[in-house]
Structure 1
């Protein structure tokens, strides 16, 4: 599989650099990924995109044009195990752009700090600071977000159930970790597209 081969090559290259004392493996891997996939903020006909700061943490904001006066609000945290990735990567940018358009929602994609710059729980503290700012009346009013229609990526299944939200668990026989970010070109993963569309559909039904 092409994705597997590319990822293994990047990981082995980073491991070699780490062993030679040239760079921390996570730092080099992030540099390689950023060089290939991080893009600048740019708006389109349906979504206004800007880079901002939320609770002192860099954040990319996606605002749908038109639609309802009060928008749904979603704070999104990219994957990578607190060590890899960026909310400015093309794959996450496309996902958040689609969510903003399909859900008529303001999406805030948080760029928390990563290893080796910081160690856990600093990344969690970044996410918490951004979440608190996201829920503040100042931010909700500034972006015209409905305070009754919010989704925080830190809310896991148990917390959603405790809040009275029906939680489903979808299993994909052909699924793999982080498949959603491979939904677009050049990979066009079918399971990635299914998981992404089901995730957005769930948000539409429950948010």
Structure 2
């Protein structure tokens, strides 16, 4: 497991420096007490309001920083090409904290970002503000987008959400993509389950129980049929994605799992941790979405199911799927790990924001 985490740390930019984008001003400050890095586009075009974009980095709620490597390079590109004020949030990580602290950090920063004072300071257009993130950051972006969308006290809300292979649920670790890609780097199935256990503040010895879906057995009194339907991949995935590796034909639902795991995972059914569990009335208020998924990724089906549920709720969704993609490829854009798939993914994402934000 340590080897996987070491690979993830390298991927998330611990060793690489960010690219230089002439004219982009970079400042490390705080929003509502949360450390952030602000990227301001080159001067010029006075009189025109800028786009705004809030970014949450990935890393299993335990690793990474938005200040280095490909994250920094991409955010500089976004600021420059979109004429956008980009804010990358340095939310607190495990083992210092666990859920809901990272989410609350991101929500506090987001509310500050959308405040009249900050919008005026950076000359941001209130109708062109996005929230985005990859992997665990995509989880946080989806959760924050839901909260802001349903908060009647917020006069300005996010216009769009852009989610890069987001982690969206912790009830079913036996979806087709979890089984198909369980041994595919850089995000092996046991590692993703471990990240979830850490995030939920649970005992890591429960890993085997979660891998077997014992934590979401029929014995769990709070998991209703309606709730299970919100992540029923047999209904939500496109036909060609409904692959079954167990021979049973449907989701793995254990009849009599041990009672312990459910009791020790208090955030398991909280939509702030698992945005895929949100009700249709919440999804209907969410901003239009861009959801990037990769074929060779345990999180593929999370993103595809969320795209379908948002569409069913009436939200406009662009679902960008890469048959040759793998988890983390969005960050493989900086030498010596500059892959063609990474460059294509970043370019498509940036082009979508250019047209939709």
TM bin (shorter chain): 0.7 to 0.9
Does the Cα contact within 8 Å between 1:43 and 1:49 map onto a contact in 2? Answer: no
Structure 2 Cα separation of the partners of residues 106 and 64 of structure 1: 6
Does the Cα contact within 8 Å between 2:82 and 2:354 map onto a contact in 1? Answer: yes
The residue number in structure 2 matching 1:204 is: 354
Distance 1:38 1:116, change over 3 A: farther
Structure 1 position 82, deviation (Å): 1.2
Structure 1 position 168, deviation (Å): 1.2
Distance 1:35 1:149, change over 3 A: closer
Structure 1 Cα separation of the partners of residues 14 and 327 of structure 2: 22
The residue number in structure 1 matching 2:287 is: 160
Structure 2 Cα separation of the partners of residues 100 and 34 of structure 1: 19
The residue number in structure 2 matching 1:87 is: 66
- Residue 340 (structure 2) pairs with residue 190 (structure 1): yes
Question: Of residues 91, 104, 119 in structure 1, which corresponds to 2:83?
Answer: 104
Please give the residue correspondences for 1:15-54 in structure 2 after superposition, counting only pairs within 5 Å.
36-37=15-16, 44-54=21-31
Count of aligned residue pairs for this structure pair: 184
The residue number in structure 2 matching 1:123 is: 102
Q: Aligned with 1:81: secondary structure?
A: coil
Q: Aligned with 2:130: secondary structure?
A: strand
Distance 1:174 1:34, change over 3 A: closer
Distance 1:32 1:199, change over 3 A: closer
- TM-score w.r.t. the length of structure 1 is 0.78
Structure 2 Cα separation of the partners of residues 146 and 32 of structure 1: 33
Any stretches of 5+ residues in structure 1 without a counterpart? 1-6, 15-28
Distance 1:35 1:190, change over 3 A: closer
Instruction: Answer with 29-38 or 148-157: which moved more.
Output: 29-38
- TM-score w.r.t. the length of structure 2 is 0.47
Root-mean-square deviation over aligned CA pairs: 2.9
The residue number in structure 2 matching 1:77 is: 56
Question: Of residues 59, 64, 68 in structure 1, which corresponds to 2:45?
Answer: 68
Structure 1 Cα separation of the partners of residues 38 and 103 of structure 2: 20
- Which protein is richer in helix relative to its size? 1
Question: Of residues 172, 179, 183 in structure 1, which corresponds to 2:322?
Answer: 172
